[in-house]
Amino acid sequence: MNTHDTQGTVRERHDENAEALKLAVVVASTREGRFAPTVAAWFLRQAAHRHDLDVDVIDLAEARLPEDLSGRPGPEAARVAARIDAADAFVIVTPEYNHSFPAPLKTALDWHYAEWRAKPVGFVSYGGLSGGLRAVEHLRQIFAELHAVTVRDTVSFHGARSCFDGAGEPLDPTGPETAAKTMLDQLAWWGRTLRAGRTVHPYTA
């Protein structure tokens, strides 16, 4: 169930008897020396506070999807496809490269189609001055083409490497933690709503 505060923000009231949402967290960066593990680990600690989520981490550096899309999917693509298909919702953890998102993430999006459909997507982005938000805006267009629903609120780290201490914790945790909770509340609402809709009426549009 949901309640609203005086500003109209959706606040989740969790039903312990409800089936947990299967949340796939996709780590987009595969570069050597990447900062993604720090950001992803922090976000996973936020998601761990939620009893309504069952989290699966899809690290594209480990998935090793083939870049050539002209042939049949190999076992790597098939394994990732099964995990995406099983998910009820997604969070994409992405940096910004040249005003957009990493090529391996585009490969993951292009290898799969029906698996993303009628499911919600949230974003945790990081980068320089823009905090990865230009990558997120590009991704919103692509997920719309895949018939997925992107939630409004995001988590973004501007000048990301200077935002975290040596233990991988934000120097100022209040803002990121609040943003993560807001985004996860929205994602959970859409996740349950769309899961119920797909159960009653399979999405075929």
Q: How many CB atoms lie within 10 A of CB 95?
A: 23
Element (H, E) at 188: helix 174-200
The pLDDT value given to residue 15 = 56
What is the pTM assigned to this prediction?
Answer: 0.90
Q: Where residue 65 falls among pLDDT bands split at 50, 70, 90?
A: confident
The pLDDT value given to residue 68 = 75
Tell me the C-alpha distance between 36 and 57, whole Å: 12
- pLDDT per residue as tens digits for the range 86-144: 999 999 999 999 999 999 999 999 988 999 999 999 999 999 999 999 999 999 999 99
One-letter amino acid at 110 equals D
For residue 62, pLDDT beyond 60: yes
- pLDDT per residue as tens digits for the range 4-57: 443 444 444 455 557 999 999 999 999 999 999 999 999 999 999 999 999 999
Asked if 20 and 53 count as a contact pair (C-beta separation under 8 A), the reply is yes
For residue 144, the SS3 value is helix
Beta strands in the chain (DSSP E): 2-4, 10-12, 21-27, 53-59, 89-95, 120-127, 149-150, 155-158
Tell me the C-alpha distance between 97 and 35, whole Å: 13
Tell me the C-alpha distance between 104 and 80, whole Å: 13
For residue 82, pLDDT beyond 80: yes
